[in-house]
Amino acid sequence: MENILTVSNLNKSFNNKKVLQDVNFSIPKGKIVGLVGPNGAGKTTIMKSILALTTSIGKISVLGEPVSFSSHKILANVGALIETPAIYPFLSGLDHLKLFANKRTNHATTSRLISALKMDPYIKKKAKSYSLGMKQKLGIALALLNQPELVILDEPMNGLDPQANKDVRDLLLKLKESGVTFLISSHILSELQKVADDLLIINHGEIVQETTMFDILSADQYLMISTNDDSQAKKLLIQHDFSLTDEQEIKVKKEQDDTVSKVISLLEKNGLGINDISHQHSDLESSLLKLLSQDQDKEDQ
């Protein structure tokens, strides 16, 4: 699959402090990729470097064309929302869209975008009256306006209510199906988990892991068990060296393929009735925190 974005040996320093250290990754077309890590890890700096909004050392190419602070014509094919959207308070939302639309973007395209983000009720009102969430949706609309092939979004869910989150999520997934590629940074990991195909995990300016959403969520699997005597079942499982969490319910870590059959056999052999047993994957937040903790432990050694 052809890569739409390639970043090679990207380095960046501010006042002799290393912010990015030999960052390397590539993104194939038609993927939604999450860029995640702690505050200050370098996520926004990577995005600004790709968009030629800051100088950096290294190589960046978009659609096979090099991008730098002084050479960035190819970025006409890239849409972006970095940090907070640039909004003119005395222009309406519609005025903003008309102002930034290129020759390829017609009225029908703009109208579909407004409807998809449910901006119709206020799109003709001046932006000074917009709430944080309304401004955020306008910023997302501007990033998507000119049918870009690559879209870079920094905290796009900031200020959005649950319905607006769903509207944005549905739109991103629809655009992905049409071939648009996304690089998204977000601290709202529960929302990112619903849309991202792949993940770039950054810590202290370095990419510490490239993985898929499926793989990171599948790394830790658990069995949720309900019996006719949960207290006794817990004691029995612990005695036989099964890994249980500290939660009130019976939550057994699935460490081998035959963990399920072993648990059932042990409980039934000891006269315990199983009311229910189900599988549970880890969520993105807990998986990310675990990985970052392991990375910190390596640094401390």
Which H or E element spans position 245?
A: none
Looking at the predicted structure, is the pLDDT value of residue 301 above 60? no
- The pLDDT, as a whole number, for residue 1 is 62
Lowest mean pLDDT among 183-187, 224-228, 289-293: 289-293
pLDDT digits (tens, 9 = 90+) for 144-178: 999 999 999 999 999 999 999 999 999 999 999 99
Query: Which of 77-81, 269-273, 277-281 shows the highest mean pLDDT?
Result: 77-81
Give the pTM.
0.84
- The pLDDT, as a whole number, for residue 300 is 55
Selection from 142, 48, 146, 167 nearest residue 87 by Cα: 142
Domains of the chain, each with CATH number or no CATH: 3-213 (3.40.50.300), 221-281 (3.30.70)
Question: What is each CA distance from 194 to 7, 79, 97, 283, 286, in whole angstroms?
Answer: 25, 21, 28, 11, 15
Average pLDDT over residues 24-40: 94
pLDDT digits (tens, 9 = 90+) for 170-210: 999 999 999 999 999 999 998 999 999 999 999 999 999 99
- The pLDDT, as a whole number, for residue 16 is 83
- The pLDDT, as a whole number, for residue 53 is 92
Per-residue pLDDT band for 243 (boundaries 50, 70, 90) equals confident
Looking at the predicted structure, is the pLDDT value of residue 255 above 70? yes
Selection from 163, 157, 148 nearest residue 109 by Cα: 148
Looking at the predicted structure, is the pLDDT value of residue 115 above 70? yes
Selection from 21, 18, 63, 1 nearest residue 206 by Cα: 21
Measured between alpha carbons, how far is 205 from 218 in angstroms, rounded to an integer? Answer: 26
- The pLDDT, as a whole number, for residue 293 is 76
Looking at the predicted structure, is the pLDDT value of residue 113 above 70? yes
Lowest mean pLDDT among 74-78, 105-109, 152-156, 220-224: 220-224
How high is the mean pLDDT of the chain? 90
